[in-house]
Amino acid sequence: MTEEAKEKKPQWAMVIDLDRCTGCEACVVACRVENNIPTVGPEEAAKGRSINWIRVERYFEGEYPDVKVKFMPVLCQHCEEAPCEPVCPVYATYRTDEGLNAQVYNRCVGTRYCANNCPYTVRFFNFFDPVWDAPLDKALNPEVSVRTRGVMEKCTFCIQRIRKGQEKAKDEDREVRDGDVVPACVQTCQTKAMYFGNIADPESEVSRLSKSNRATRLLEELGTKPRVIYLNKGD
C-alpha cells in the first residue's frame, strides 16, 4: 500500500464479474442468513414485498429456442453521489467517510422517498413486523440489528464484517488489506465472480479490476458514481 492511501480512510468497493456469474443465487441466500433478512412468505413476495439486499436480475435475449440469458446480481451500489441521501428529511441515510451509503434504522421515519429516488430499486421497506419461519428465528446473526416495521433497509456491504476486518488489522498493527473484509455474498460466490476491497488502495484487487477495459458501472450516465463495478466483455 502506498503512503498516500494509508493516510486516507479505506474506500470500500465491489467488483462483480458478469462473465463468471452463473445466476445460482447463492449470494442471495448467504446475504439473507448473514443480515437477518425477514421472510415475508410467497403471497407477500408476489405483491412485491420481499426483501433481498442482493438479487440476481435475469434478462433474456432472443426468441426460444435461441435464447441467451444474462444474469446480473444487483445490490445497493453505494453511490458516491447517492440520489437517496439528499431526499431523506431525517438523515436516516447518509455517506460515511469510508464511502458507504449508511442506513440508520433508528432515524428512519419511513417516508420511502429514498426508495423512490433510487434508480437501482435496491431499497426495501418493512411493510409488516419482521417474521422468520422456524427454525430461522433461532438463527439470527447477533452482530446485525433486526429492523422494525416501517423502516427502510438495504445492503450495508456487510458493515459488521468491515468492522471486524478493521479491528483485526488494528490488532495486528497493520493497514487493512485484501482478504480482511469479505462480505457474505463475496465469500459464498462459487465462481468467484465477486470481489471486495479498498478502491483507494491502488494495489488492491478491486482497484486493479476497476481499471479493466471490461469495467462498467450501472446507469453511469446518471452521475451517481456507483461503488459497484461490473465486468462484462460485452457481445
Partner 1 sequence: MSERQPTTAKINSDLLGPVNKPGRGWYATVTVSGLVVLAAAGALAYQFSRGLGVWGINRPVFWALDITNFVFWIGISHAGTLISAILRVTGAEWRRPVTRCAEAITVFALMIGALFPIIHLGRPQLFYWLVPYPNERGLWPNFRSPLAWDFFAINTYLLGSIIYLYLPLIPDLALLRDKSRGLWRRFYGALSLGWKGTQLQWDRLERAVRVMAVVIIPVAVSVHTIVSWDFAMTIRPMWHSTMFGPYFVAGAIFSGIAALIIAMAVIRRVFHLEDYLQPIHFNNLGLLLLTMSLIWFYFTFGEYLTTWYGNLPDEMAVFDSKVSGVYSPFFWGTVICCFAVPAPLLAIKRFRTIKGTVIASMLVVVGMWFERFLIIVPTLARPRFTFNWGTYSPTWVEIMLTAGTFAYFVLLYSIFTRLFPIIAIWEYKEGLAVAREPSTSSSSVSSPLTEST
The DSSP result for 26-92, as a single string, is HHHHHHHHHTTPPP-HHHHHHTT----SEEEEEEEES-TTS-EEEEEEEE----TT-THHHH-TT--
54-61 and 215-216 beta bridge pairing: unpaired
CA dihedral 21, 25, 27, 31 (to 10 degrees): 160
Of the candidates 178, 208, 222, 225, which one interacts with partner 1 according to CB under 8 A?
222
Of the candidates 3, 7, 42, 59, which one interacts with partner 1 according to CB under 8 A?
59
Should residue 96 be labelled a site residue for partner 1 when binding is judged by CB under 8 A? no
Of the ranges 85-93, 162-170, 183-191, 207-215, which one interacts with partner 1 (CB under 8 A)?
85-93
Should residue 25 be labelled a site residue for partner 1 when binding is judged by CB under 8 A? no
Q: How far is the CB of 125 from partner 1 (least distance, A)?
A: 6
Q: How far is the CB of 47 from partner 1 (least distance, A)?
A: 5
Should residue 61 be labelled a site residue for partner 1 when binding is judged by CB under 8 A? no
> Which residue, 28 or 181, has its beta carbon nearer to partner 1?
28
Degrees to nearest 5, angle at CA 199 with 103 and 91: 20
Largest CA-CA distance found in the chain, in angstroms, rounded = 58
Should residue 18 be labelled a site residue for partner 1 when binding is judged by CB under 8 A? no
Q: What is the 3-state secondary structure (H, E, C) of 167-198?
A: HHHHHCCCCCCCCCCCCHHHHHCCCCCEEEEE
Of the candidates 116, 146, 174, 211, which one interacts with partner 1 according to CB under 8 A?
116
Q: How far is the CB of 122 from partner 1 (least distance, A)?
A: 9
Of the candidates 2, 8, 19, 91, which one interacts with partner 1 according to CB under 8 A?
91
Cα–chain center distance at 72: 13
DSSP 108: -
Should residue 88 be labelled a site residue for partner 1 when binding is judged by CB under 8 A? yes
Please check whether residue 42 is in contact with residue 192, taking contact to mean a CB–CB distance below 8 angstroms.
Answer: no
Q: How far is the CB of 83 from partner 1 (least distance, A)?
A: 5
List contacts with partner 1 (CB under 8 A): 44, 47-50, 57-59, 74, 83, 86-91, 107-113, 115-117, 119-121, 124-129, 148-152, 219, 222
